Structure 1
């Protein structure tokens, strides 16, 4: 019979904060939604089901005011993309917890119940990863923290695609259509990558562009 795992004290969260936000012109973590920065929003959502929460990003990212009660780590290997952030986060968390949910700082509509659902599907698997016919969502997934050593080996071999993890580990691949009952629009897997994405998000919720951002975005709707 597959093992069941209790959420409390078992599942942490890794929030990836790397990337240069070149399509936005400003640090996307500082975009504002419902009075919170994206980073504050993502952390507050995953904290409902995950502890601890660790942020992983570039060394200069820590200059921002970080949410309270979060851990912080930096990428140790340059030019390795988000896979290095996942590796660092898993390695830092391995002494504390057995599992970690991975997301990124530009997913302000992350749904805690989807995180809970994925975790409860882990059983004896090494990972739980949503998939569609077109895409593997390796950055909205649950991983065993001990996998950091095998990810390190993949990085050393130049295998840097996060999407390949689902087929490299004993992963339970969840069709995204099964997640729509919890997250009908699959917002938990929707990144805000551009000014157009951000303006569309605000429009969807009937929000105005915050005054402090009006002169900072390079693109206009």
Structure 2
């Protein structure tokens, strides 16, 4: 889809606002990563998309910052390295996701964070792992996962070496798979992992959210 997904409105909220709404209850700091062609001097560049949330959370903008990819159209790993580098200044862990998952559930975010902080038996202690990543049908889902912010250098090194695939980078980490039964306990229908890549997917999710809203 050749459109600014963050600005798409489904139901009554932009896609960006829906993702922020799911993450905000658990996050002290929110970092939005934008593309280089949207360079602006402040979070006000995206503020209009978040306006509906401000009535319930006046402090939202004060704990939200905006950073930018350093390159054009080179895939999500560029955004991940920029986000981790910024997050490293304020936190040890970062939940990372894209702006096109409007069904993201706070409960699933919380599960991933808790799993990395305190891995369930028989896993080793938390320090043994770099990330907690959903795994469905044997396939990791690295674009909705929790990472240690110290991985900023690792992501940057992979990118500099020519790797543009998030999965290739994630597979090189010491990652903890969060399996489907655990995921479904937090998000029964795995709605959090449904993203929008086609007009049909947008229409399907838009229809669902309009009924719910």
Fold shared, TM-score > 0.5 on shorter chain: yes
Count, aligned residues? 185
- The corresponding residue for 2:174 is 170
- 1:138 Cα deviation after fit: 0.5
Distance 1:33 1:48 in 2: 21
Distance 2:185 2:31 in 1: 28
Distance 2:132 2:169 in 1: 10
- 1:206 Cα deviation after fit: 4.9
Contact 1:110 1:189 in 2 (8 A): yes
Query: Which deviations, in whole Å up to 9, do the C-alpha atoms of 1:159-199 show, x marking residues without a partner?
Result: 22111233211110112332012112211111112221121
**1:50 lines up with 2:27 in the alignment:** yes
Distance 1:113 1:78 in 2: 33
Pairs within 5 Å for 1:1-221:
21-22=1-2, 26-61=3-38, 62=40, 63-64=45-46, 65-67=48-50, 68-69=61-62, 70-122=64-116, 123-124=126-127, 125-133=129-137, 135-207=139-211
Query: Which deviations, in whole Å up to 9, do the C-alpha atoms of 1:29-60 show, x marking residues without a partner?
Result: 12223311111111121001112111112133
What is the TM-score with the length of structure 2 in the denominator?
0.80
Structure 2 counterpart SS, 1:139: coil
Structure 1 counterpart SS, 2:140: coil
Distance 2:24 2:145 in 1: 16
Gapped regions of structure 2 (runs ≥ 5): 51-60, 117-125
Structure 1 counterpart SS, 2:66: strand
- 1:133 Cα deviation after fit: 2.9
Structure 2 counterpart SS, 1:115: helix
Distance 1:36 1:203 in 2: 13
What is the TM-score with the length of structure 1 in the denominator?
0.77
Q: CA RMSD in A?
A: 1.9
Mean alpha-carbon deviation: is it higher for 42-51 or for 56-65?
56-65
Mean alpha-carbon deviation: is it higher for 72-81 or for 143-152?
72-81
Query: As a proportion of its length, which structure holds more helix?
Result: 2
